[in-house]
Structure formats: structure tokens, C-alpha cells
Structure 1
Amino acid sequence: MGTSQDSNAPVGTLAIELLGAMAYGELSAFGRLSADSRHAPTLRDRAMLGKIAVGAYGNFAMISDHLAGLGVDPEDAMLPFQQSFDHFHERTRPGDWYESVMKAYVIDTVSADFYRTVAGFLDARTQVVVHQVASADHATEALRILLRKALADDPRLSSRLALWARRLVGEALTQAQRVGLEHPWLGPVLKAGGEAREAVGRLTADLAAGHGQRMSGLGLAP
């Protein structure tokens, strides 16, 4: 794991960029999950997705409080990421409930892997916040349970959701590359003795490998 000495980037600047991306991601997740819950096949499923949405808002509030403690307006930190994140979600609109759940699971897990990697370059207090948000928690497990239940109830979903997951992770990795390369500190800080583009390429390969393991755990081809 890296330290702040591994990069020329000011730790505060890097922390603000990462926290801004995370805050907007959690705020977006809250809105998406709240809307998607209306299409749940059962009230139990609707309540579960609603609970996950509330958790996402709680994460957003925690990150916002940490940014405010750094003397940063959370909106200012989020704005540089709004357009690219919104475009990503426009490109990956789910077709039904099952695709919504798969999207939530893929984005939750791939994003968490990305955030944990960058967190190694941050100050200790910010690392705590990042790991609280990016830890494998009840939300990740709840989404996994919803997917396993759906696949068990209707095995015909397997091929469709496997294809959808491949599309999602491809888009998510492209988004991670774009974020890493376009923002002043997130790309260069990932250097490991090489160019930022190469480092981001290695990171996305690791993210893809983690995703493949999770899909195999669901019984889907990665």
C-alpha cells in the first residue's frame, strides 16, 4: 500500500478529489436506488432496496461532513465529476428490476475496489472515511442475495444478466480510466514506477479480475 510520499500530489488535493467522486457517487446511488425500488417484484425487495438507498445517503452525508471539516464545500468537490458520472448512468439505464439490481451490485463493488486502492495514498483520517464507505457491508451482501435469489428462481436470467454485467463492468472500467486520467491528481498518484496511463491500466485489470471472481461466485460467466 502506498503512502503520501509515493506521489508528488498534495495529500489534501488528492483526498478532496477522491472524496468528491465518492460523494457524488453515493448521492447518485441514493436517487437511483430509491427510484428502482418502485419496480421491485415484492414489498420485501422494495424495502430492502430502499434500505440500501438510505445507506447510500448516509455515506454521502458522512463524506460531506468530512469535506466540510477539511474546509471544502461538498458541492464544489462533487461538481467536477457530475457530468461524467451522469453520462455513465445515461449509457447504462437498466431495462428492468433485475438489471437494476445487477447494476447496483457491479457499481457498488467495482467502485469500492477503486476507492480502496486510492485510499492507500491518503491521510489516516480520510482513509477511515473511505474504508467505511467502501467496506463490504450489508448493502453489498443484500444485493448479492437479491441476485442469487433471482437467478435461483429463474435460471433463464443467467445469460441475460451475465451479458448485462459484462457491459456494465466494461463501462465502469472505462469510467475509472477516465477519472484516473482526466483529474489532476487521481491519475498520477497511481504511478508505481511508471507512467500514469500504464498504472491506471494495471488498476483496471485488477478491478476486472475482482469483478470476474464475484460473477463466478454468482454462477455467472465473467
Structure 2
Amino acid sequence: GMSTSPADTARYNRFVADLFGMMAYGELSAFERFSADARYSPTLHDRAVLGRIAVVEFRHYELVSARLEAMGIDAEDAMLPFQAAVDYFHSRTRPADWYESLMKAYVIDTVSADFYRAISRYVDAGTRDVIEQIQASDETTEVLRERLRSALADDPRLASRLALWGRRLLGEALTQAQRVSYEHAFLGSLIGGEDSAAAKELVSGLIAGLAEKHSKRMTQLGLTG
């Protein structure tokens, strides 16, 4: 099994606190953005769709912050180091309209799910369980995908705009994933601490995997890019 010196244990616990802090702030921010974007919806039905997704995000936030508190960690303290990065991502990706909001929700939902799924291979069972509970919102992904599909079917001109927007979102998301991974020695602490070459390789593999999965989903939507 793994060597668990006190230093290793402390490093691992810090990693988990960081992971949950990032998740919690990501969920809280998504809740706020989707709630705010819902008002641009073309129909009341669509407004309710985004509203329901916002509620799911908020529930996830509560779940993760409860987990942090159970670990004896103040949720706000855990979230603060990630606030600037997440806020920056959102400020760089302000949707121009309802369709861009929908696409943004879809890209955040799927890319972050892929990111956490990749990381869950390296964590203990209890931590993996929290990640899985949060990944369990597949119905959210399905609802967004169907809504985007029907919007694209109704308006073919929308496709080129949303393809561009999807690329832009992915670029910003990957930049953030990379920044978080390096700045917080995030993944380095997972794979034995000080080996920065191995950490870099892990990060670039992770980023490439995220891009590839995203590209497949865009193709499935009928968007190239």
C-alpha cells in the first residue's frame, strides 16, 4: 500500500480540503449564475429548467460544505483560495443570451464532471463517495443536451455561434483547471508530493482528456470544434 508518513497524511488532507473547497465554491457560483441567467429565458418553461438546475447546484454546495464542516474545516476558509480563479472564469465567459447561458451550463456541467471523475481515481473511498453524489446529476446534463439540440434544430445559424462559444468556454475552463492544478500544487500532492515532472505529465494528460471528451460531445450536438 501507500506509505503514510505524517507529512504524507497532512499533505493528502490538505489536498482533500482544497478539492472540496474548489467544488463548493464552483457549485455556489454556478447556482448564482444559473439563477441570474434564468431571467433571459425565452419561455417560462425554460426559466424553470435553469432554475431547477440552479437548485441542484445549491444542494451540491450544501453537501460539500457539510462534508468540510464534518472534517473540522470552515467551508468559507476552504473556498476562499479558489474564489479569484472561479470568479475570473465567470467574468471571462459572460453569456450574451439564453442560448449561450445554456451552452455554458452544459460545458461547466460536463467538463467539471470529467475533471472530478479523473481526480476520483486518486482519492479515498469517502472522498470518492462525495464526488459520486455530486456526479449523480446526470438528468441535468441530459436536460441541457436536449434543450441545446432542439434550439440548434430550430435555428441552424445558431450552430456557428455556439460552436465558437463552446471553444471559448473550453479554453477558459482548461486554463482554470491548469492554473488550479499548478498553483495549489493540487495534483502534485496527490502523486507523492515533490515530483514536479510526474505532476506536470499528470496535468497535461488530464487536460488533453478533458479536451477530447468535450470535442466528442460537441460533435454529438452537431457542432464542430
Q: How many residues align?
A: 219
SS in 1 for 2:190: helix
SS in 1 for 2:123: coil
- Please say if residues 4 and 123 of structure 1, whose CA atoms lie closer than 8 Å, have aligned partners that are also in contact: no
Q: 1 CA distance for matches of 2:126 and 2:201?
A: 29
Q: Which moved more, 1:118-127 or 1:132-141?
A: 132-141
SS in 2 for 1:142: helix
Structure 2 counterpart of 1:219, from 215, 218, 222: 222
SS in 1 for 2:224: coil
Q: Which runs of 4+ in 1 moved over 2 A?
A: 3-6, 8-11, 184-191
- Please say if residues 112 and 135 of structure 1, whose CA atoms lie closer than 8 Å, have aligned partners that are also in contact: no
What's the CA shift for 1:123?
1.8
Q: Does 2:117 correspond to 1:110?
A: no
- Please say if residues 22 and 79 of structure 2, whose CA atoms lie closer than 8 Å, have aligned partners that are also in contact: yes
SS in 2 for 1:195: helix
Q: Does 2:74 correspond to 1:73?
A: yes
Q: Does 2:126 correspond to 1:125?
A: yes
- Please say if residues 190 and 200 of structure 1, whose CA atoms lie closer than 8 Å, have aligned partners that are also in contact: no
Q: 2 CA distance for matches of 1:64 and 1:48?
A: 25
SS in 2 for 1:189: coil
Q: 1 CA distance for matches of 2:123 and 2:3?
A: 10
- Give the structure 2 partner of residue 94 of structure 1: 95
Structure 2 unpaired stretches of 5+:
none
Q: Which moved more, 1:55-64 or 1:107-116?
A: 107-116
What's the CA shift for 1:117?
1.2
Tell me the amino acid that sits aligned with residue 196 of structure 1. Answer: A
- Give the structure 2 partner of residue 207 of structure 1: 210
The residue correspondences of 1:184-199 to structure 2 (distance < 5 A) are 184-189=185-190, 194-199=197-202
- Give the structure 2 partner of residue 20 of structure 1: 21
- Please say if residues 187 and 203 of structure 2, whose CA atoms lie closer than 8 Å, have aligned partners that are also in contact: no
TM-score by length of 2: 0.91
Task: Give CA-to-partner distance per residue, 1:1-20, whole Å, 9 cap, x none.
Answer: xx9669x5633221111111
- Please say if residues 179 and 187 of structure 1, whose CA atoms lie closer than 8 Å, have aligned partners that are also in contact: no
TM-score by length of 1: 0.92
Q: 2 CA distance for matches of 1:151 and 1:5?
A: 52
What's the CA shift for 1:135?
3.8
Q: 2 CA distance for matches of 1:166 and 1:35?
A: 23
Q: 1 CA distance for matches of 2:218 and 2:136?
A: 18
Structure 1 unpaired stretches of 5+:
none
Task: Give CA-to-partner distance per residue, 1:178-197, whole Å, 9 cap, x none.
Answer: 00000033344268x84322
- Are the structure 2 counterparts of residues 5 and 88 from structure 1 closer, same or farther at C-alpha, using a change threshold of 3 Å? farther
- Please say if residues 13 and 185 of structure 1, whose CA atoms lie closer than 8 Å, have aligned partners that are also in contact: no
SS in 2 for 1:19: helix
- Are the structure 2 counterparts of residues 165 and 5 from structure 1 closer, same or farther at C-alpha, using a change threshold of 3 Å? farther
Tell me the amino acid that sits aligned with residue 78 of structure 2. Answer: A
SS in 2 for 1:199: helix
- Give the structure 1 partner of residue 158 of structure 2: 157
- Give the structure 2 partner of residue 34 of structure 1: 35
SS in 1 for 2:223: coil
- Please say if residues 187 and 199 of structure 2, whose CA atoms lie closer than 8 Å, have aligned partners that are also in contact: no
What's the CA shift for 1:125?
1.1
